[in-house]
Amino acid sequence: MPYSMNDYPDSLKNMEKLERKKAIDIINALLEEGYDDGRAIPIGTDQAKEWYSDASKKELDELKSKDVTEHEDDPGQQGGKIADNDVEVFFEDDEWKVQTKGAKRPSNTYDNKNDATKRAKEIAENRGAETIIHNKNE
């Protein structure tokens, strides 16, 4: 069962409301990918703090209306199937993206390749997977 704004880990209780919502969104996505709570919660918390500190007003407004308990058309269908897949770094839509092979959307986006590569390597190392880094023009 995914976390919600009414049912979330105690470690998120002191976060700002939208920061907490982003953390819940990330944690739920990680859980769907097959991560266990012990790994998903700290990763989601750290990513949410980073995202929240850099988020634009538009991104914050979009998050306000997002349902953080739904991530796929068929929730849980993918969980565990892609958790061990390799992690790719690629350039698209004027940003660097980090995405697990087989995932429907990137887990992270960055302005520069170094930050994207660093994050992809962290994810891949946690899974025992490989990191595939593409050039900007591929």
In terms of pTM, does the model score above 0.85?
no
Q: What is the pLDDT of residue 42?
A: 93
pLDDT band, very low/low/confident/very high, at 1 (cuts 50, 70, 90): low
pLDDT at 73 over 60: no
Q: Residue 44 CB: number of other CB atoms within 10 A?
A: 26
Q: What is the mean pLDDT of the chain?
A: 85
Q: What is the pLDDT of residues 10-55, one digit of tens each?
A: 999 999 999 999 999 999 888 887 788 888 899 999 999 999 988 8
What's at 47, amino acid-wise?
A: Q
Domain ranges of the chain: 10-65, 87-133
Beta strand segments in the chain, E:
87-92, 95-100, 108-110, 131-133
Helix segments in 65-130, DSSP class H: 113-127
Torsion of CA 66, 31, 74, 56, to 10 degrees: 20
- The C-alpha angle 128, 134, 136, rounded to 5 degrees, equals 150
Q: What is the pLDDT of residues 51-67, one digit of tens each?
A: 998 888 888 888 888 88
The mean pLDDT of 88-110, rounded to a whole number, is 89
